[in-house]
Chain A
Amino acid sequence: MLKDKHLTVTVSPHIKTALSTEKMMWIVSCALIPASAAGIYFFGFRAALVIAACIVSSLLSELFCTLLMKKPATIKDGSAFLTGLLLALCLPPGLPLWMCFLGGFFAIAVSKFAFGGLGFNIFNPALAGRAFLMGAFAKEMTSWKTLRVFPDGITAATPLNLLKEQGYDSLMKVYDSHSYLFKELFIGHVGGSIGETSAALLIIGGLILLFARIITWHIPVSYILTVAIISYFTGGTFGIIFHLLSGGLMIGAFFMATDPVTSPLTSKGQLVFGAGCGILTMLIRLRGGYPEGVCYAILLMNSVTPLIERYSKTRIFGAGKNG
């Protein structure tokens, strides 16, 4: 009978959803499998090594930090694995492996644990890791493995790079027609970082996150829509499709900007955050020194998240004049 059972007494509620932080982390990692696989397929075994190096380095850094800070081991919560994977996906496939290790260490130890660990970091760790590598090893970070060559034998950079540095005509020399360029961008058969090339597979991953209720639509939709609007006014229909499918926009909108820790809490705030990311991305792409702006756009918006939050509080049911 109940007498000899130990009854647990807690405050209500007594049941819980099945979706834990740990599960969320692993679902996000799984949603990245298609894009990662495509990266390895297009760029070869070297890309797999970069992915492995980043993940191993992130996990080891997590272990090292928890041991050093005498905190309980958090290595199995999946967040370090995910950070490593995300970092790898926004690195060039030919990056020296020791740099990958360094990037993973920076992402975990500096941008996460120095701020207090999971839940307390201000900047998206994977993007912070990438920004660090970009600052430290600019040359290696911008040498893209070539998938395509000019007719005259000169190797071509990423489509965004081509457009920025050599103009629309050079881009068209490599890709012949708009429809061919769009097709290649969509399936990911272009130069670029390992995981940010195939728009199609990233959208599939994003849809998985939406259906699994890991993310809500607010950030991706407002981010992508803002980019679409700005690119329409600066480049017409070509501009829209080109800017949506190129570079890191899809991985950024679905996987980076939606990082819960570094984005606003409320849906109102998330819409503002997404729009801000979109504006900054296009500002950098069109007017800045770099061909791609997703990474810095999201990092900059991360830093204003607390400000956005201050002005995007929810409305309490029944409060105020009209409730």
Chain B
Amino acid sequence: MKAKITFKGGIHPSENKNLCAEMAIKDFPPPDIAVLPLQQSLGAPAEPVVKPGDKVRKGTLIARSKGLISSNLHSPVSGEIIAVRKSPHPLLGEANAIIVRSDKTDEAEKDYTGGNFSIDNINPGEVLELVQNAGIVGLGGAAFPSHVKLNPPPDKAVKTFIINGAECEPYLTADHSLMLESADLILKGALIIKKMLKAEKCLIAIEDNKKDAISLLRQKLASMDNAEGFEILSLKVKYPQGAEKQLIYALTGKKVPSGGLPMDVSVLVHNISTVFAIYEAVYLKKPLFERIVTVSGKGIKNPANWRVRIGTSFKTLINHSGLTEKKIKKLIMGGPMMGLAQYTDEVPVLKATSGILVLTDEEAADFEHLPCIRCGKCVEVCPMGLMPAEISKMVERGRIDAAKGIGLLDCMECGSCNYICPSGTNLLQYIKLGKYEYMRKKNAKR
């Protein structure tokens, strides 16, 4: 066995994945009211193609992508559009959303089972269209429209296609449970992408704490046709192992240049859940209207991995899962390292919602803030090779340009520095503030 594949830096937080690891995915009942923010992904919000009073079915297109970086939106339930109005949004605070009232029949636009696709006569243009129509975005959290990533400029051919199954955020087990449930379908999805991009290699990378998923995928791969170029690799368990640049470096030894994209080193990375969604879109012609969500945290009585319709409110999921008696501190969308704290549970599940965490006082504990003692731990753990303490001090003093000079914009906001800091300094908060100030100044100059 060669040494475990990894990168330099990183941290080892308590995983807390055992709260709901290896738990089969359960279907969450369709919501009575679905709230579908038009802005699901990075880029421009989608444009509604329905109006209040319209009848829709599960899978009906309700908003169309507008602009290059934007994605389609489909109704997750069958019922009636009751409004298009401002609603709470987990990322933006408040944003326009289409509200659908379910008629409880759950009638679908078409049959999304069975399905067929001839992988040998694959037509990249057709696949691209299917993916775009299905409104697929990166499900790992960034929510970048997938069809844009699948269509690199001609001079940036993809040689290595990487499937990210690291799921390095603590607590989250959505990808893990999906790999256990649908290993063969994930491989089908992988093959579609590998073929359409004419990639030489397809590497499926999984953290070593998911040994069952690794062996299951290897087993399925052994009996798959067209398996040449495929490899399933076990990664060292370390946060942020699933960060794109660190993952590419661990697997290929290539460093994506500062400010560059994976395609600059002939690589494309997709999250494992996204690959599954692409399989569904291509084989079943099924739009993205549901996803796997981990509902966990020590504040939750019955943690689980649910298959949830997009637009279901956090509140419904939390009420269904029950709360423990412990004192609750935070509600998070996503993982505890990069997730967003919510001020209300009346926000809907987005396409990018990989987890909903209810954290107790004890889990989300913070230190009393003391001055930086220059211990250098933040430097040691930074996977981007930055000096977070220095950047944050410069931002604190308003020296945004100096901060930029030592890598402010290279920070990917993984939060490792903030996690490890013994002084309880909110390093990432200063870094984010610095980036915001930088963008503000830059835009003001224009």
Contact = CB atoms under 8 A, between A and B. Distances in A.
Interface of A: 1-3, 5, 7-17, 19-24, 74, 77, 117-120, 216, 260-261, 263-267, 270, 313-319, 323
B366 A21 contact: no
Given A16-B419, A314-B385, A315-B385, 5 more contacts: A9-B342, A12-B340, A13-B337, A14-B341, A17-B422
A10 B330 CA distance: 9
A294 to B, nearest CB: 21
Contacts of B382: 314
Interface string B334-359: 00111111111100000000000111
A117 B423 CA distance: 14
B142 to A, nearest CB: 14
A74 B406 CA distance: 32
Contacts of B376: 216, 260, 264-267, 270
- The 7 nearest A-B residue pairs measured at CB: A13-B415, A323-B255, A119-B371, A260-B375, A319-B258, A318-B258, A11-B429
Contacts of A5: 328
Interface stretch (B45-53, B120-128, B227-235, B315-323): B315-323
Interface of B: 11, 13-14, 170, 245, 249, 255-258, 260, 315, 318-319, 323, 328-332, 336-345, 357-359, 363-368, 370-376, 379-380, 382-387, 389-390, 406-407, 410, 413, 415, 418-420, 422-424, 426, 428-429, 432
A65 to B, nearest CB: 14
Contacts of B413: 12
Contact of B339 (A14, A24, A117): A14
11 contacts: A1-B318, A1-B345, A5-B328, A8-B341, A12-B341, A77-B370, A119-B370, A317-B410, A318-B255, A319-B257, A319-B407
Contacts of A12: 336-341, 413, 415, 418, 428
Nearest to B331: A7
A204 to B, nearest CB: 22
A21 B13 CA distance: 18
Contacts of A22: 370
A14 B332 contact: yes
Contacts of A77: 370
B196 to A, nearest CB: 28
Given A21-B370, A21-B422, A318-B255, A8 B384 contact: no
B428 A13 contact: yes
B358 to A, nearest CB: 7
B319 A265 contact: no
Contacts, number: 176
Nearest to B433: A11
A11 B435 CA distance: 14
Contacts of A120: 371
A2 B331 contact: yes
A16 B421 CA distance: 8
Contact of A313 (B257, B387, B429): B387
Given A2-B328, A20-B424, A318-B410, A10 B341 contact: yes
Given A15-B364, A316-B385, A317-B385, A7 B372 contact: no
Contacts of A3: 345
A318 B264 CA distance: 11
A321 B131 CA distance: 37
A265 B379 contact: yes
A260 B372 CA distance: 10
Contact of A14 (B359, B379, B386): B359
A119 B384 CA distance: 25
Contacts of A1: 315, 318-319, 323, 345
Nearest to B346: A3
Contacts of A267: 376, 379-380
B375 to A, nearest CB: 4
A9 B415 CA distance: 16
A7 B370 contact: no
A7 B410 CA distance: 31
A23 B370 CA distance: 12
B410 A319 contact: yes
A21 B373 contact: yes
Nearest to A5: B328
B426 A11 contact: yes
Contact of A118 (B342, B364, B371, B426): B371
Scoring B256, B370, B382, B415 by chain A CB atoms within 10 A of each residue's CB, the highest score goes to B370
Scoring A7, A8, A13, A265 by chain B CB atoms within 10 A of each residue's CB, the highest score goes to A13
Nearest to B412: A317
Scoring A1, A2, A313 by chain B CB atoms within 10 A of each residue's CB, the highest score goes to A2
A304 to B, nearest CB: 15
Nearest to B256: A318
A283 to B, nearest CB: 27
Scoring B13, B368, B376, B383 by chain A CB atoms within 10 A of each residue's CB, the highest score goes to B376
B379 A314 contact: yes
A16 B330 CA distance: 14
A316 B419 contact: no
B385 A14 contact: no
B379 A15 contact: no
B330 A7 contact: yes
Nearest to A10: B341
B425 to A, nearest CB: 10
A314 B386 contact: yes
A144 to B, nearest CB: 33
Contacts of B367: 16, 20-21
B370 A16 contact: no
Given A19-B422, A317-B258, A317-B410, A7 B373 contact: no
Given A2-B328, A21-B422, A316-B384, A9 B343 contact: yes
Scoring A8, A9, A264 by chain B CB atoms within 10 A of each residue's CB, the highest score goes to A8
B370 A14 contact: no
A9 B387 contact: no
A316 B386 contact: yes
Given A12-B339, A23-B422, A317 B344 contact: no
A117 B383 CA distance: 31
A216 B380 contact: yes
Nearest to B338: A12
Contacts of B390: 265
